[in-house]
Amino acid sequence: MSQTELCAECEVPLMIGREQKWDNNGVIPLALNPRRRSVFYESDVVDNLFEGIGDLIGVPVDHMVIESRRRDVRRFIERTFPSQIEESIRLQEEMESEKDPEVREVKRRNLLEIRKFYNFQVNEVGKIYGYGNIQFSDRWDKADDYAWRTQVISNPHSMLFYPAEMLGSVEGFDQADMRVEYEETGEDTYAVTAHPGSHPVELKQRLRRKRYEFKPGDIEFERCSTCGVPLEVARCKWDLEAGTIIDSFTGRRMAIYGPQAMEAVLDDLEAELGEVIPEAVIESQRRYIKSAWKEEEWRKDASAFRRMIAARGVGNLTHFEGDRQGLTLTIENSCMHLLMVGAIQALVEMAYRAEGSNYEWDITEDGDLTVSIKVPEKVTSNP
């Protein structure tokens, strides 16, 4: 059983309220680094989005998604854990150069124990954030060399992001290029293994993303009186053994992750494949939302929509104007803007019972996203 501490009132893991803050401006900043943000977002979107992009452009993008995410995770590991990496490499080199078999075995087991400790910490955080049930493989029971290069995951939030993140983490600690493979070993269960080897694709260098100051807001959340998370978060059910978070109101699975992970992958896809990508992202998201989300949930007013996107950490709705032909809105402090355009288009079509619509969007240098959706009159009914 998990030893994660839960809030006595709402049963959300206490780590959630300690590590993330839900500010009144539609941003979920990290407690230790307020310039970095998280989103609390439907996790099924991830793989469905990229599958849809591949279908639309006629080219699978999975390998590019994995390479992009791997690259960023490795950089993060190298920046965040330099002393742990140095210790791991030192122990590994000492083990490999040791001539005495008994001493070598002691060093090998010491290395395994240290790496197991690192992996355990990462796996537990992954469960809390909704990434799935990440477990040690049987290579640890056998005390195999490099046992950390295989992990077993059940209920993965994404079988694109998780293999990439596992690969980037191994590369960061081992300081070696790897490739990743996975095998389905049971129902929604996979053994994911990193092997020494070159990457199947090399991406162009990405331009540095500009950071901006978040604008203030006036959103008021009802919160758990004990841990402080919004009630929209507190109503979710954490299953720490399964590594899942289920929104009890919508029935959809949620996860906490950095929006820059998604944005970086989309930037890389656009750099590799060109201007077709933004339109494909928007259309893929529109199709998925319309097929997977219930129409009756979205016949809401501006206030309800504002709270919904703020609880997800994707921005602050500051303008919302609709008529019989569509909707125009502005979101300050926005993130994952292409996904938001596609989602808004889908929600408008569902609310207006429209088969299609036209959209225009613009994002300013300081993160204001304006989206205008127009629905042809002949395909609408009164919302």
Task: Give residue-wise pLDDT tens across range 206-265.
Answer: 666 667 789 999 999 999 999 999 999 999 999 999 999 999 988 999 999 999 999 999
Question: How far is Cα 148 from Cα 117, in angstroms, rounded to an integer?
Answer: 10
The whole-number pLDDT of residue 35 equals 87
Residue 249 tokens read as: 């109101």
Residues 6+ apart with CB under 8 A from 140: 112, 116, 147
Mean pLDDT of 267-284: 95
Question: How far is Cα 298 from Cα 327, in angstroms, rounded to an integer?
Answer: 13
What is the percent of the chain where pLDDT is above 90? 72
The whole-number pLDDT of residue 80 equals 87
The three-state secondary structure class of 192 is strand
Mean pLDDT of 253-278: 94
Question: In the chain, which residue ranges form alpha helices assigned H by DSSP?
Answer: 14-19, 45-57, 62-80, 82-97, 101-128, 161-174, 231-234, 259-273, 276-292, 302-312, 337-351
298: pLDDT confidence band, cut at 50, 70 and 90? low
Q: Evaluate whether 13 touches 239 at the Cβ level (below 8 Å).
A: no
380: pLDDT confidence band, cut at 50, 70 and 90? very low
The three-state secondary structure class of 160 is coil
Question: How far is Cα 83 from Cα 180, in angstroms, rounded to an integer?
Answer: 25
The DSSP H or E segment spanning 316 is strand 316-323
Question: How far is Cα 251 from Cα 253, in angstroms, rounded to an integer?
Answer: 7
The whole-number pLDDT of residue 27 equals 97
DSSP state letter for 217: -
7 pLDDT higher than 90: yes
331 pLDDT higher than 70: yes
DSSP state letter for 378: G
Question: How far is Cα 288 from Cα 302, in angstroms, rounded to an integer?
Answer: 23
The three-state secondary structure class of 202 is coil
Q: Evaluate whether 107 touches 203 at the Cβ level (below 8 Å).
A: no
CA distances from 137 to 62, 85, 141, 193, 244 (A): 25, 22, 8, 10, 20
Lowest mean pLDDT among 274-288, 292-306, 348-362: 292-306
Residue 32 tokens read as: 């230790």
The whole-number pLDDT of residue 318 equals 97
Residues of the chain with CATH 3.30.1380.20: 293-379
Question: How far is Cα 372 from Cα 109, in angstroms, rounded to an integer?
Answer: 60
Find the helix packing angle between 45-57 and 276-292, rounded to 10°: 130
376 pLDDT higher than 90: no
Question: How far is Cα 325 from Cα 376, in angstroms, rounded to an integer?
Answer: 7
The string over 155-186, giving b where at least 16 C-beta atoms fall within 10 Å of a residue's C-beta and e elsewhere, is bbbbbbbbbbbbbbbbbbbbeeebbbebeeee
Residues 6+ apart with CB under 8 A from 213: 366
Q: What does CATH list as the number for 293-379?
A: 3.30.1380.20
Place of tokens 């930037």: 267
Greater model confidence, 371 or 140: 371
Mean pLDDT of 117-126: 89
Residue 35, amino acid: R
* Mean pLDDT for the chain overall: 91
Residues 6+ apart with CB under 8 A from 312: 39, 40, 41
Which pTM does this prediction carry?
Answer: 0.90
Greater model confidence, 339 or 76: 339
Question: How far is Cα 318 from Cα 370, in angstroms, rounded to an integer?
Answer: 10
110: pLDDT confidence band, cut at 50, 70 and 90? confident
pLDDT in tens, 23-65: 999 999 999 888 899 999 999 999 999 999 999 999 999 999 9
Mean pLDDT of 127-156: 92
The string over 26-40, giving b where at least 16 C-beta atoms fall within 10 Å of a residue's C-beta and e elsewhere, is bbbbeeeeeeebbbb
The whole-number pLDDT of residue 208 equals 61
191 phi/psi in degrees, rounded to 5: -95, 120
1: pLDDT confidence band, cut at 50, 70 and 90? very low
The whole-number pLDDT of residue 52 equals 97
pLDDT in tens, 174-213: 999 999 999 999 999 999 999 999 887 777 776 666 677 8
